[in-house]
Amino acid sequence: FAETAPSMANAAGLFTWSGAPAVPAAGTLVTGLAASISVNAAMDPSTGGNPTLLRDGGANGAAYVANTGGGASYSTLLVAYGDRLDQPMTFDPAAGVSATSSVSDYAASSIGWFEGVRQQASTASDAKEALASRSAEALSNATGVNVDQEMSLLLDLEHTYQASARMMKTVDDMLTALLNAVG
């Protein structure tokens, strides 16, 4: 989804990141990239941007304008965005998908991967809850009821659960944003 122009380097288009206007090289895994992706302010009307740049191009200057005639019915760039979703791209194998895949395939693989991570987190949380419960029971049986110690264990468990829930909410938000952007 980069903007392209003759004799110019590819530049961030609809989506941008903290390293913009440069675009990461194809097949390169950039740590933290997903957390810094946002809609390009040049195209976002809520930040004073011009949404017609999505249709016309030019978020990175006049050299990147695809709709040089300014026609309101120009759709070539918009159609190209949709076509790119299913075109093979190079991904770093460390990303956990095949080296060449489409954005649509990558999104589908990510959904499966996120579900696996969610299931592992849920299983780990259940195991920690059972361990905390058994530990509290063993302690109570051995020493009698120690309310302060039991409350401390419950607070630890609650904090673990809250952290897990926040992680799942973040993953859900990322998937929702990805699916909204793709679909």
Cis previous bond, 6, omega within 30: no
Q: Are 31 and 39 in contact (CB under 8 A)?
A: no
* Cα-Cα-Cα-Cα dihedral sign, residues 80, 85, 89, 92: positive
CB atoms within 10 A of CB 13: 24
Euclidean distance between CA atoms 116 and 110, whole angstroms: 10
Q: What pLDDT score was predicted for residue 8?
A: 84
Q: What is the identity of the amino acid at 148? A: D
pLDDT given for residue 152 in this prediction: 93
| Alpha helices for 16-146 (secondary structure H) | 33-36, 52-56, 76-84, 103-143
Please, what's the largest Cα pairwise distance for the chain?
Answer: 83
What is the rounded distance in angstroms from the CA atom of residue 41 to the CA atom of residue 20? Answer: 12
**Could you state, in chain order, the average pLDDT of each consecutive group of 10 residues for the chain (183 residues)?**
82 84 80 86 93 91 91 91 86 74 82 88 94 88 77 93 93 91 80
pLDDT, residue 28, reads 80
Please give the pLDDT value at position 95. Answer: 72
